[in-house]
Amino acid sequence: MNEIQNRRRARRDTAAARWQPDGDMPAAPAFELTRVEDYEPHIGAEAVDRILRKAELLDDLHVVHINSTYYGGGVAEILSSLSLLANAAGLRTGWRVIQGRPDFFSITKKMHNALQGGDINLSDLKREIYEEVVYENAVRLHLDHDVVFVHDPQPLPLIKYFRKKSPWFWRCHVDLSHPHPELWAYLAGFIERYDAVILSLPEYAQPLGVPQRFIMPAIDPFSSTNRPLDDAEIDDRLAHYDIPDDLPLVVQVSRFDTWKDPQGVIDAFRIARREVDCTLVLVGNVATDDPEGQEVFERLCASAEDRIRILSVQDSALVNALQRRAAVVLQKSIREGFGLTVTEAMWKGTPVIGGNVGGIRHQIENGVTGYLVDGVEQAAARIVHLLRHPDLRTRMGEKARRSVAGRFLLTRLMEEQMDLIGSVESRFHLRGTAF
Ligand code: UDP
């Protein structure tokens, strides 16, 4: 065994010891965590070693991520994998979810919409409910971590209620290309208290007095949403929901949210179906911090028919199966902070037709790894074209998968976050030694 392997094994053993939530547990847990080493076939041994070395340098820090839902939506998807991967590498990382009443989440969803360019009536009552619920969460959180990441607008004001000794980062995942000016001015009062803001793309940068960093999201290839599935497993999931696959499947997977334009998907499908036989499956879930989802779902149900299936379920194995079995995946968003569903489908070698907005533009190279479209008619034309050209689908899908392997796997995100922590470390004397 060479020296690198020895070092790696030693690290793995240390990390394994940390996986025990309680040192006195009578038996070792029967479960295994994904480790950075498992990414070696995708990112190479050198990258694995480099990332583990960086994690080792930070292994006496305690990091926490705070968001507002445990499932539903990309942030929860990232945090559930990232927090485990970091712990497995020895970087102690917690994940806390704030709680809120329905009126709180109704307000924060309005804020989410307004950050993406919608309108909002920002009344004093809304501000009061927003800040009060976050204050109550602050009381319960007992944060004494070395590094704090706060995700999206819901928990943003938390920083106001802590005597800040450590670096706090506000990580905003939404499409900030057209934020509502009055709302932005109000939120900036909280944002400016942070040490840095992390946005998904440079074009989301705002006039702020704090540094802005850009980190694109990423997927976990080992999660139940993305792990390899064989044909029998895919058949089983589709049969479970009575989804026919006798005709090519056109699929969109998204929270039921008007920014994802599910109605536009149905309209595009109806136009395409005049020329090619196919089945549309719209699968969505309703995140606990998104009170509008149920209403959007119910409105769409009026369009359901034999060849237009609309399902509201939280089943990541179904998402995985559909993204794999689909002839074409759509993500026809009107605004999209990043769009993990695009990454997920591309990773599975399925060509994606995506709205020409936000993060989708950074993922799809138009005509090479998928198509970018500007409206219903264009989407319909691309569906027809892809369904008529299976070889093109295969070629595009292969290129799509390669591009995800190189740019959008979770290890890249973890490394960028560690670099960010390292860059502020000496300023905060997190450990007294330089990174
Ligand atoms: N997702 C899911 N079930 C659904 C719809 C979405 O598990 O019915 C997952 C999806 O696989 C992806 C995430 O939720 O991992 C959505 O992330 P994305 O960035 O596409 O959009 P967001 O919901 O964060 O706006």
Average model confidence (pLDDT) across the chain? 93
Name the domain count of the chain: 2
Q: For residue 336, what pLDDT band results from cuts at 50, 70 and 90?
A: very high
Please tell me if the CB atom of residue 340 comes closer than 6 angstroms to any atom of ligand 1: yes
**Ligand 1 atom nearest residue 217's Cα:** 19
pTM beyond 0.85: the answer is yes
Residue 199 within a domain: yes
Please tell me if the CB atom of residue 255 comes closer than 6 angstroms to any atom of ligand 1: yes
- Asked whether residue 64 falls in the same domain as residue 208, the answer is yes
Q: What is the phi/psi pair of residue 330, to 5°?
A: -105, 145
pLDDT for the residue numbered 19: 60
- Asked whether residue 68 falls in the same domain as residue 175, the answer is yes
- Asked whether residue 243 falls in the same domain as residue 368, the answer is yes
pLDDT for the residue numbered 290: 85
- Asked whether residue 238 falls in the same domain as residue 322, the answer is yes
Please tell me if the CB atom of residue 175 comes closer than 6 angstroms to any atom of ligand 1: no
Find how far residue 96's CA is from the centre of its chain. 16
Contact 179, 117 (CB under 8 A): yes
Q: How far is the CA of 411 from the centre of ligand 1 (A)?
A: 19
Q: Which two tokens stand for residue 313?
A: 């379920």
- Asked whether residue 210 falls in the same domain as residue 256, the answer is no
Residue 333 within a domain: yes
Burial 156-176 (b: 16+ CB within 10 A, else e): bbbbebeeeebbbbbbbbbbb
Name the residue at shortest CA distance from atom 22 of ligand 1. 73
Amino acid at position 314, single letter: Q
pLDDT one-digit tens code per residue, 30-60: 788 999 999 999 999 999 999 999 999 999 9
- Asked whether residue 249 falls in the same domain as residue 188, the answer is no
Q: How far is the CA of 174 from the centre of ligand 1 (A)?
A: 13
Residue 224 within a domain: no
- Asked whether residue 86 falls in the same domain as residue 209, the answer is yes
- Asked whether residue 103 falls in the same domain as residue 247, the answer is no
The CA-atom distances, in angstroms, between 124 and each of 47, 54, 146, 284, 393 are 50, 45, 34, 33, 52
Residue 78 within a domain: yes
∠ CA 140-142-145, rounded to 5°: 145
- Asked whether residue 196 falls in the same domain as residue 257, the answer is no
Q: CATH number for the domain including 328?
A: 3.40.50.2000
Q: Which domain covers residue 210, as residue numbers?
A: 44-218+409-428
Name the residue at shortest CA distance from atom 14 of ligand 1. 73
Q: Which two tokens stand for residue 416?
A: 């960028």
